[in-house]
Amino acid sequence: MTITIKDEQGIAGMRLAGRLASQVLDYLEPFVKPGVTTNALDKLAHDYIVDVQGAIPAPLNYAPDGYPPYPKSICSSINHQVCHGIPNDKPLKKGDIVNLDITIIKDGWHGDTSRMFCVGDASIAAKRLCALTHEAMWHGIQQVRPGAHLGDIGWAIQSFAEGHGFSVVREFCGHGIGRGFHEDPQVLHYGKPGTLTELKAGMTFTIEPMINAGRRDIKELGDGWTIVTKDHSLSAQWEHTVLVTPTGYEVLTLSAGSPAIPDFVQPSA
C-alpha cells in the first residue's frame, strides 16, 4: 500500500480541484427540480466543467479493473440507489432524493464530492436520512488529525448511523485521492477506534458514507455500475475530500453553496 503525501504544491492543486468540484454542485442545484432528467444534469455538469472550469470530468470513460467504461460525466443515484447511478432520460419527480457525485481533474489533481438533493419536497423520513447522513460524514471528518487512525473515522460514522437505526454500506468506501482518482488507503465507514492506518499530515482522502434506512445489503444492477439496496430501502450519501493538516483537517471540497456545517463540529486548523 502506498499512501501519497502531498507537498505544498500538491496541496494547492488539491485545494483548487476540490473547490471546483464543489462549485459544480452549486451550479447544478437550481436545476434539480421535478421534470429534469439526470441526462440533462449530466450535460450541464459536463459543459460547465469543460467550458467554464477548464477541467476534466473524471468519471467519463473511467474503467477500473472489472468495470465497463463509465459512460457519463457525473453519478446520479436516486432513492434506493446507493451509488454510481448512471444518468438517463427519466425525469426526476417530486419527493425523490438524489445524490449527485462530482469528480473533476484540474491540472492533474482530483476533487471528489457529493451531496443529497430533495426534488421538490421529500418525505420527513427521506429528509431525516439525508440530514443524518450529512451529520454522519461530519462525525467522521472530525476525527481527522495526525496520529488518529482510519478506524476512528469508521467508528464515528458507524456508531452515529446505527445509533439512529440506520445501516452502513460495507462494500464501498472512501479513498485516497490526488493525481489518482482512487488511491490508497481505503477509508471504511465502519470499524473500531485505534485500528488501521495512522493518519499523517499531507494525506488527502475522501469520506463518503452510504447510509441505508433499512438493511445494509446491496446489489449491483446489470449495467455493471449502479448499486441499489437489496430491500429497496432509501439510501443517502455525502462526500468530501479532506486534507490532514499538522493540527487537524481541512475540507477541500467546500464552496459558497455548501450546506451549513453541523453545530457539533469544532473548528479545525
Chain residues in the site for Co ion (CB under 5 A): 101, 112, 206, 239
- Residues with Cβ within 8 Å of residue 146, at least 6 apart in sequence: 199, 200, 201, 244, 246, 247
The Cα–Cα gap between 157 and 148 comes to: 15
Q: Binding partner of residue 96 among Co ion, ligand MF3, none, CB under 5 to 8 Å per kind?
A: none
CB of 234 to ligand MF3, least distance (A): 19
70 binds ligand MF3 (CB under 6 A): yes
Residue type (1 letter), 135: E
Contact in structure between 17 and 104 (CB atoms under 8 Å):
yes
DSSP label of 29 = G
Out of 75, 119, 187, 242, name the contact with ligand MF3 by CB under 6 A: 75
Amino acid at 171: E
Binding ligand MF3 by CB under 6 A: which of 13, 59, 140, 202?
Answer: 59
Instruction: Give least dist CB 266 to ligand MF3, A.
Output: 26
Please tell me the distance from the alpha carbon of residue 6 to that of residue 11, in angstroms, as a whole number. 6
Whether residue 86 contacts residue 223, with contact meaning beta carbons closer than 8 Å, is answered with yes
> From residue 100, how far is each of 122, 218, 238 by CA, in Å?
16, 19, 9
Tell me if 250 contacts ligand MF3 by CB under 6 A: no
Measured distance CA(177)–CA(199) in Å, rounded: 14
Using CB under 6 A as the binding rule, whether residue 208 contacts ligand MF3 is answered as: yes
How many residues appear in the chain? 269
Supply the minimum distance, in Å, between the C-beta of residue 39 and ligand MF3. Answer: 15
Least CB distance to ligand MF3 at residue 193 (A): 24
105-144 footprint of ligand MF3 as x/- string (CB under 6 A): -------x--------------------------------
| C-alpha cell of residue 186 | 481505503
Q: Please, which residue, 197 or 241, has the CB nearer to ligand MF3?
A: 241
Return the one option of Co ion, ligand MF3, none that residue 84 interacts with (CB less than 5 to 8 A, by type): ligand MF3
Torsion sign over Cα 59, 170, 187, 118: positive
CB of 123 to ligand MF3, least distance (A): 26
Query: Shortest approach of Co ion to residue 174 CB, angstroms?
Result: 6
196 φψ region: left (φ > 0), alpha (ψ -120 to 50), beta (else) = left
Residue 239 touching ligand MF3 (CB under 6 A) = yes
Query: Does 62 participate in binding ligand MF3 (rule CB under 6 A)?
Result: yes
Binding site partner of 216, from ligand MF3, Co ion, none, Cβ cut-off 5-8 A by kind? none
Q: Which residue has the cell 467546500?
A: 254
Binding site for ligand MF3 (CB under 6 A): 59, 62, 70, 75, 84, 101, 103, 112, 206, 208, 225, 239
